[in-house]
């Protein structure tokens, strides 16, 4: 084997690096020729396609969670339904990029719907006159089908979702993302780079294991310069529907989301109780906001949706970190 100079990179220098295809670490890599050609240093054309397609979408919000099962999809649906209900002229779209567990078709009562292709792209499914949905769930043969995709294929699907869905004019496009910080997040954030993202809403539950993962989520947002609109604490207390006593199922031993929000100087947008009627509505695809308008859960949802800041601003360029991860 040839001697490697001591200052040569030991790992892939990254497809955008000036050393791409030329470093000693590139020897033998199947992508060496393509990297050396310089093609990989050019901006991904998908970024401008997404910018053009989403030029009629005013606010793009990402809903994130550190863990699965904390209620991210539920909160996405509640915010979307609440915004759509607040004004018939407010147009809302939900893009479900939780590729491994697309729940929005069930929660928004659109199971079995088909997406249609037209000259101007894929038509989303209309859940209401002013609420539309696009989900990977619509492209699976059955709701129990598993999606087993590697990074590049996921990336391609997210690019298609962002650049080929014909949303029309939207006031809000709300992205339901997978838990954690994965390929899907980096793809979505990178493709939305020029279209602009209004910000992220982070969902957590109050107990320590969930909060630990939220810290990583906050760190991720800061590393990729994604503004955080605030945190929502879900399942904060359980109020027994019979005796009305409340119990902390997930005790906030370290002060819950409130203490964490204070520590990181981000806003606590609100807290939602663990409400069995909400679980039931989600399972049955019913809209709790119209089914039980007097419920304390609904009043809290309306309150935090109203208090959401929508700065309607684009965030700055993604920093090197995001691109280096995205391109490896
Ligand atoms: P995630 O998207 O974080 O994986 P989901 O939104 O799918 O989580 O929620 C997981 C389960 O918890 C679902 O069955 C949902 O109906 C239920 N759920 C979420 N939030 C609440 C809540 N506040 N009260 C009762 N059930 C909830």
DSSP label at 140?
Answer: S
Residues near ligand 1 (Cβ within 6 A): 65, 68-74, 103, 234-235, 272, 274-275, 278-279, 282
Residues in Cβ contact with 8 at an 8 Å cutoff, skipping those fewer than 6 apart = 23, 24, 25
DSSP label at 137?
Answer: G
> How far apart are the CA of 72 and the centre of ligand 1, in A?
7
**Mutational pocket test of ligand 1: of 94, 239, 279, 301, the residue with most ligand atoms within 8 Å of the beta carbon:** 279
pLDDT digits (tens, 9 = 90+) for 197-220: 999 999 999 877 778 888 888 998
> How far apart are the CA of 254 and the centre of ligand 1, in A?
22
Residue 106 pLDDT greater than 50, yes or no = yes
Closest Cα partner for 98 from 74, 121, 122?
74
Protein residue whose Cα sits closest to atom 22 of ligand 1: 274
Protein residue whose Cα sits closest to atom 23 of ligand 1: 274
Alpha-carbon span 27 to 227, nearest angstrom? 40
> How far apart are the CA of 192 and the centre of ligand 1, in A?
27
Residue 300: the pLDDT is 94
Residue 233: the pLDDT is 93
User: Which range, of 51-65, 188-202, 233-247, averages the lowest pLDDT?
Assistant: 233-247
Q: What is the token pair recorded at 14?
A: 């990254």
pLDDT digits (tens, 9 = 90+) for 291-314: 999 999 999 999 989 887 665 533
pLDDT digits (tens, 9 = 90+) for 8-52: 446 788 777 888 888 888 888 888 888 888 877 777 888 999 999
Binding residues: 12, 26, 29, 35, 66-73, 240, 243
Protein residue whose Cα sits closest to atom 17 of ligand 1: 279
DSSP label at 33?
Answer: H
Tell me the range of 48-62, 147-161, 298-312 where mean pLDDT is highest.
48-62
Binding residues for [4Fe-4S] cluster: 12, 26, 29, 35, 240, 243
Percent of the chain residues past pLDDT 90, beyond the cut: 47
User: Which range, of 9-13, 48-52, 60-64, 157-161, averages the lowest pLDDT?
Assistant: 9-13
Q: What is the token pair recorded at 287?
A: 């809209």
Residue 310: the pLDDT is 64
Strands 199-204, 57-65: pairing is parallel
Residue 319: the pLDDT is 41
Residue 259: the pLDDT is 86
Residue 75: the pLDDT is 97
Residues in Cβ contact with 315 at an 8 Å cutoff, skipping those fewer than 6 apart = 196, 197, 199, 225, 226, 227
Q: How far lies 280's CA from each of 4, 85, 132, 205, in Å?
A: 62, 20, 22, 19
Protein residue whose Cα sits closest to atom 14 of ligand 1: 279
Residue 67: the pLDDT is 87
Alpha-carbon span 221 to 62, nearest angstrom? 11
Residues in Cβ contact with 176 at an 8 Å cutoff, skipping those fewer than 6 apart = 63, 72, 73, 76, 94, 95, 96, 97, 98, 103, 104
**Mutational pocket test of ligand 1: of 63, 74, 206, 250, the residue with most ligand atoms within 8 Å of the beta carbon:** 74
């Amino acid at each position: 084997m040839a001697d490697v100079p001591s200052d040569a990179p030991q790992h892939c220098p990254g497809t955008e690096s000036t050393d791409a295809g030329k470093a000693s670490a590139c020897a033998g890599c199947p992508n060496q020729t393509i990297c050396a050609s310089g093609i990989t240093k050019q901006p991904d054309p998908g970024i401008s396609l997404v910018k053009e397609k989403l030029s009629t979408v005013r606010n793009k919000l990402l809903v994130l969670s550190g863990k699965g099962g904390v209620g991210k999809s539920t909160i996405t649906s509640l915010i979307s339904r609440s915004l759509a209900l607040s004004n018939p002229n407010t147009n809302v779209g939900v893009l479900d990029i939780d590729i491994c567990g697309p729940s929005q078709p069930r929660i928004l009562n659109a199971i079995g719907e088909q997406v249609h292709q037209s000259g101007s792209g894929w038509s989303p499914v209309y859940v209401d006159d002013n609420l539309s949905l696009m989900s990977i769930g619509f492209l699976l043969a059955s709701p129990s089908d598993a999606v087993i995709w590697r990074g590049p294929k996921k990336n391609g699907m997210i690019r298609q979702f962002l650049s080929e869905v014909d949303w029309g004019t939207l006031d809000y496009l709300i992205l339901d993302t997978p838990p954690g910080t994965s390929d899907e997040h980096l793809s979505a954030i990178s493709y939305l780079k020029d279209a602009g993202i209004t910000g992220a809403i982070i969902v957590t539950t109050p107990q320590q294991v969930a909060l630990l993962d939220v810290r990583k989520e906050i760190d991720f947002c800061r590393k990729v310069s994604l503004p955080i609109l605030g945190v929502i604490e879900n399942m904060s207390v359980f109020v027994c529907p019979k005796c009305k006593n409340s119990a902390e199922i997930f005790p906030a031993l370290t002060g819950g989301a409130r203490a964490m929000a204070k520590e990181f100087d981000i806003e606590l947008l609100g807290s939602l109780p663990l409400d069995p009627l909400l679980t039931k509505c989600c399972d049955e695809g019913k809209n709790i906001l119209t089914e039980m308008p007097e419920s304390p859960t609904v009043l809290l949802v309306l309150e935090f949706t109203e208090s959401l800041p929508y700065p309607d601003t684009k965030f700055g360029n993604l920093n090197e970190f995001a691109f280096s991860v995205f391109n490896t």
